[in-house]
């Protein structure tokens, strides 16, 4: 069965704290009736800091959709290669071992996809399959894992690289002052992540069963309004309540596999916000601390969209000593639709290391390396 190896995650060097966010909101939206409520909601997110791809002074200005998208292309090309190299290293592979690249992002647009550029610039084979996913939002991380799983099952011995590039700050709209927009301004952060799913060999999460679920008639609850100024994020007040119908779906998935959703050893859950995590814990009848890695991502980086599940999983790898071979777990991402992407897997520990020379991965040109922090 396919194995999801340790992700690599990196966040930009520009930091904004919750205190900074509250100060900017008070200044930019002074006197507006919805401001006090928005400030309380931002304070309740638990997001202590976020990382931005540009200094806050530039982030707060809107240079136009064309310029925003140009920055997205420049920054994605600058920041992805280093993270990809680390993910390949984590998996014990090199670029030519990869058979498919899944690229997920909802914060910028390129055609051809960044996958074409990566193949040309980083030494991937020219017959590498390309699968860009652009419109699943925060659920795309889970969807990418599931599609990589499916590909490896359909093509045994294949290896799939997943890349998530979410530069959420490039979607900031200075003139948007509804409560949903003000809340999102204090919630979302920027990050780049990558992970490899190996068709055989490796260590990590053995992917066993996956599923998707769409909550009926909720497609307008999380959405983009595309205007001259770019992507305007729209969030319905009913979104936090979606964990009540999703929890039974997770439970049924586990039951089909012969597992108890409330008795797993690890939980990698999309950190859409504190209400999402608290409600899911309640409806799954588990202690909220089982989502500790998701809470840590939310606190330290904010909601980094499709990259959340990879950062939470990275944190799980870093305490791998708490898991034994065969430990059971779930990975779940939630996003527009309202869509849930879920996968069950068991832990495969790393084999004892042997000193063995391996071919070096193709190096990243120095001019492509971005200034990133938090790479793991």
pLDDT, tens only, 49-85: 999 999 988 998 899 989 999 999 999 999 999 999 9
Catalytic residue among 106, 138, 152, 168: 138
d(CA 365, CA 78): 10
Pairing of strands 159-167, 190-198: antiparallel
d(CA 47, CA 88): 30
Q: What is the mean pLDDT of residues 86-96?
A: 98
Reported as a pLDDT band with limits 50, 70 and 90, residue 181 is: confident
290/355: higher pLDDT = 290
Please report which helix (H) or strand (E) contains residue 160, including its range: strand 159-167
d(CA 307, CA 107): 12
Residue 309 pLDDT > 70:
yes
Q: What is the mean pLDDT of residues 216-237?
A: 83
Mean pLDDT for all residues in the chain = 90
What six digits make up the tokens of 257?
């596999």
pLDDT, residue 365, reads 42
3-state secondary structure 94-138: CHHHCCEEEEECCCCCCCCCHHHHHHHHHCCCCCCEEEEECCCHH
How many C-beta atoms surround the C-beta of residue 331 within 10 A? 27
What six digits make up the tokens of 15?
């930091």
Which region among 112-121, 302-311, 349-358 has the lowest average model confidence (pLDDT)?
A: 349-358
Alpha helices in the chain (DSSP H): 18-28, 35-44, 56-59, 65-91, 114-122, 140-154, 179-185, 243-256, 274-284, 292-301, 308-317
How many C-beta atoms surround the C-beta of residue 39 within 10 A? 18
83/361: higher pLDDT = 83
Q: Which CATH class is domain 204-348?
A: alpha beta
* CATH architecture entry for 3-202: 3-Layer(aba) Sandwich (3.40)
Residue 366 pLDDT > 80:
no
pLDDT, residue 36, reads 86
Q: What is the mean pLDDT of residues 84-101?
A: 98
Q: What is the pTM (predicted TM-score) of this model? A: 0.90
pLDDT in tens, 114-133: 999 999 999 999 999 999 99
Q: Where in the chain is the domain with CATH 3.40.47.10?
A: 3-202, 204-348
Reported as a pLDDT band with limits 50, 70 and 90, residue 313 is: very high
138 catalytic, yes or no?
A: yes
């Amino acid at each position: 069965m396919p194995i999801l190896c340790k992700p690599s995650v990196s966040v930009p060097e520009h930091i904004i704290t919750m205190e900074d966010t509250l100060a900017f909101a008070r200044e930019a939206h002074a006197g507006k009736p919805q401001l006090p409520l928005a400030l309380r909601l931002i304070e309740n997110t638990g997001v202590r800091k976020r990382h931005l791809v540009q200094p806050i002074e530039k982030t707060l200005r809107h240079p136009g959709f064309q310029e925003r998208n140009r920055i997205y292309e420049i920054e994605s090309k600058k920041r992805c290669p280093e993270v990809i190299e680390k993910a390949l290293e984590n998996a014990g592979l090199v670029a030519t071992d990869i058979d498919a690249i899944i690229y997920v992002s909802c914060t910028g647009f390129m055609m051809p996809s960044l996958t074409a550029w990566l193949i040309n610039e980083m030494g991937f084979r020219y017959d590498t399959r390309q699968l860009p996913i652009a419109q699943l939002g925060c659920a795309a991380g889970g969807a990418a894992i599931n599609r990589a799983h499916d590909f490896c099952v359909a093509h045994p011995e294949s290896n799939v690289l997943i890349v998530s590039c979410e530069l959420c700050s490039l979607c900031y709209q200075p003139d948007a002052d509804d409560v949903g927009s003000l809340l999102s301004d204090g919630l979302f952060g920027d990050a780049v992540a990558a992970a490899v799913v190996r068709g055989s060999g490796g260590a990590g999460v053995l992917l066993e069963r996956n599923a998707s679920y769409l909550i009926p008639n909720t497609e307008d609850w999380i959405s983009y309004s595309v205007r001259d100024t770019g992507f305007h994020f729209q969030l319905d007040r009913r979104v936090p309540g979606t964990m009540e119908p999703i929890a039974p779906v997770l439970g049924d998935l586990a039951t089909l596999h012969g597992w108890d959703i409330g008795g797993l050893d690890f939980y990698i859950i999309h950190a859409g916000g504190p209400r999402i995590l608290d409600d899911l814990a309640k409806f799954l009848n588990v202690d909220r601390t089982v989502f500790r890695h998701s809470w840590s991502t939310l606190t330290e980086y904010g909601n980094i969209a499709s990259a959340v599940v990879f950062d939470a999983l990275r944190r799980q790898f870093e305490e791998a000593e708490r898991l034994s071979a065969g430990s059971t777990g779930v990975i779940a991402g939630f996003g527009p639709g309202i869509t849930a992407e879920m996968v069950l897997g068991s832990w495969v520990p790393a084999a004892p290391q042997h000193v063995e020379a391996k071919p070096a991965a193709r190096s990243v040109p120095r001019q492509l390396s971005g200034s990133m922090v938090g790479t793991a």
